Structure 1
Amino acid sequence: MIIPVRCFSCGRVIASDYVRFTEACTKIINETGREPRGEEKAKILDDLGVKRYCCRRMILSHKDLIDEVLPY
């Protein structure tokens, strides 16, 4: 629902990285008209300095549902 502030496994702060990750993905969508591919997402995470696979999992697997739940 809401992006966790810290990684569940290692405790690294990931909330700010998630915001920058979504901004970079939105930029790719606006430029190319398609969703970013896996290699592009990997490059974005590398550029952000997210190296651990547990933190990458937290960012890649998050689905933002807050807008759907908010009316209830």
Structure 2
Amino acid sequence: MIPIRCLSCGKPVSAYFDEYNRRVADGEKSKDVLDDLGLTRYCCRRMLISHVQTWE
């Protein structure tokens, strides 16, 4: 369960989570996916990169 907003700056990040996971699973580099999604702040980027799925 990913937080709806970035904990540091408050930007909504949950809307990008599914697309990020799908594209990374398809073999794209995380950096390229995050750049395409428009996530430029390192605080928002870490929300997606460091997320660990705890629910199935």
The equivalences for 1:57-68 within 5 A come to: 57-67=46-56
RMSD: 1.1
| Amino acid of the structure 2 residue aligned with 1:15 | S
Structure with higher Rg: it is 1
For normalisation by structure 1, the TM-score amounts to 0.72
Is 1:21 the equivalent of 2:20? yes
Identical aligned pairs, as a percentage? Answer: 38
Moved over 2 A (4+): none
Q: Alpha-carbon deviation of 1:42?
A: 0.4
Q: Alpha-carbon deviation of 1:65?
A: 1.0
How many corresponding residue pairs?
56
What residue ranges of structure 2 are gaps of 5+ in the alignment?
none
SS of corresponding position for 1:66: coil
Is 1:6 the equivalent of 2:2? no
For normalisation by structure 2, the TM-score amounts to 0.91
